[in-house]
Amino acid sequence: MADLPEFTMTGGPLEVSDRVLRAMARQTMYHYDPLFLELHNDTIDKLKKIFQTKNDLIIMHGEAVLGLEAAAASTIEPGDKCLNLATGPFGKGYGRHVTTFGGELLEIEVPFNESIDPEAVRDMFRAHPDIKVLSVVHSETPAGTLNPIEKLCPIAKEHQAITIVDAVSSVGGMQCLPDEWGVDICIVGPQKCLGAPPGSALVSVSKDAWQKMLGKSEPLRGSVLSMLDFKERLIDNGRFPYTPSVNQVYAVREAAAQLLEEGLEHAFARHRAAALACRAGIKAMGLELWPASEDIMSTCVTAVKMPDGVTDKALRAMMRDKYGVMISGGHGDLIGKLFRIGHMGKMAGVSYVLVALAALEKTLTDLGVKVPAGAGVSAALATA
């Protein structure tokens, strides 16, 4: 067909459901129209259920990076010791925000195919009990790995540090319990496991986090990076800090509704099944998974070492143009080292994984890589 690609299975954005797209096409409303206010509040309620949190939840109207940067900007007091955990390009990159906003950067960095050992964090807090902020990525999309935030955040909370978790690609697709695990600021992107288009940062904020923001010598207000504006203007006074992305809210609401109708457990199982099928297929094709072990793999994306003799560009261009499947390459330092098949949101299904594996087999064969015929799809199917 003329409108290639037929399937988008990247690190995000991915294809979204017909239902979400139609919701997005609802006529634009004034943001203070009572109907929009109702829809906005309903979206907040639905997202809280998906976040499984009783904390406040705000929709910031820019991509997830806005929420991530805002978390640093809103909480870090110049001079604060901040521990950043670097397990991939996204985790590593967060350190920049720490220094931009005046924090003193402490960092634990591991190779980008590994995840964080809680002991290392415990050691760091022992050495620096005055750490004020811990920042960590839950699901490191560029590397296909998962950090054990359920163990990491409690350590920080024991030391009264605020925890900022990049859960951009985890919430909705795998278990994440901010309240139980001590996640103070949990930032999620709609274009990943939630199955909506990009354009918002969905953020839950704990009381401790609000207090940290208010306790700064100069609390951040009057900025798109201010989370406090959402607390003081919107939550407390019903006024948006700025014009919300009305149609994007429609889309997020519909995606949230669809996810809740499915049920979180079912969605998690669906993401897990897709991931298992994908990994089995990749291994059966004789390819190597990028993460150091399957224990630390995220279920939202499968990262695969780039086979010898194949370039990122050739692989992805042929897979898309000839076989109709768009996947992702590496990000930042990982460019050229791996490629990634995303299976999130609508695309977290074994059927889609089969399509991707089939296209991959054909592409690799065309590119001269020996791949056992049918092995990938057969192995994937066997897991279903």
Question: How many of the chain's residues bind a copy of itself (CB under 8 A)?
Answer: 88
Q: What angle do CA 94, 195, 292 make, to 5 degrees?
A: 50
Of the candidate residues 118, 148, 219, 349, the single one contacting a copy of itself (CB under 8 A): 349
Residues 152 to 191 in contact with a copy of itself, rule: CB under 8 A:
189, 191
Q: By CB under 8 A, tell whether 314 contacts a copy of itself.
A: no
Pairing label, strands 7-8, 325-326: parallel
Q: By CB under 8 A, tell whether 219 contacts a copy of itself.
A: no
* Of 283, 261, 313, nearest in space to 383 by CA: 283
Residues 65 to 94 in contact with a copy of itself, rule: CB under 8 A:
65-66, 69, 93
Nearer to a copy of itself, 63 or 114 (CB): 63
Nearer to a copy of itself, 148 or 349 (CB): 349
Of the candidate residues 154, 219, 244, 286, the single one contacting a copy of itself (CB under 8 A): 244
Of the candidate residues 134, 136, 251, 297, the single one contacting a copy of itself (CB under 8 A): 251
DSSP letters along 245-293, please? -HHHHHHHHHHHHHHHHH-HHHHHHHHHHHHHHHHHHHHHTT--BSSS-
Residues 362 to 381 in contact with a copy of itself, rule: CB under 8 A:
362, 373-375, 377-379, 381
Of the candidate residues 43, 53, 147, 258, the single one contacting a copy of itself (CB under 8 A): 258
Q: Count CB neighbours of 246 within 10 A.
A: 19
Least distance CB 384 / a copy of itself (angstroms): 6
Q: What angle do CA 209, 65, 43 make, to 5 degrees?
A: 70
Least distance CB 127 / a copy of itself (angstroms): 28
Least distance CB 332 / a copy of itself (angstroms): 10
Distances 257 to 20, 37, 46, 64, 150 between C-alpha atoms, Å: 10, 17, 7, 20, 26
Find how far residue 231's CA is from the centre of its chain: 24
Largest CA distance in the chain: 64
Q: By CB under 8 A, tell whether 333 contacts a copy of itself.
A: no
Least distance CB 334 / a copy of itself (angstroms): 14
Q: By CB under 8 A, tell whether 269 contacts a copy of itself.
A: no
Of the candidate residues 80, 361, 364, 369, the single one contacting a copy of itself (CB under 8 A): 361
Least distance CB 29 / a copy of itself (angstroms): 6
DSSP letters along 313-378, please? HHHHHHHHHTT-EE-B---GGGTTTEEEEE--GGG-SHHHHHHHHHHHHHHHHHTT----TTHHHH
Nearer to a copy of itself, 111 or 368 (CB): 368
Residue 255 · residue 190 · CB < 8 Å: yes
Nearer to a copy of itself, 191 or 302 (CB): 191
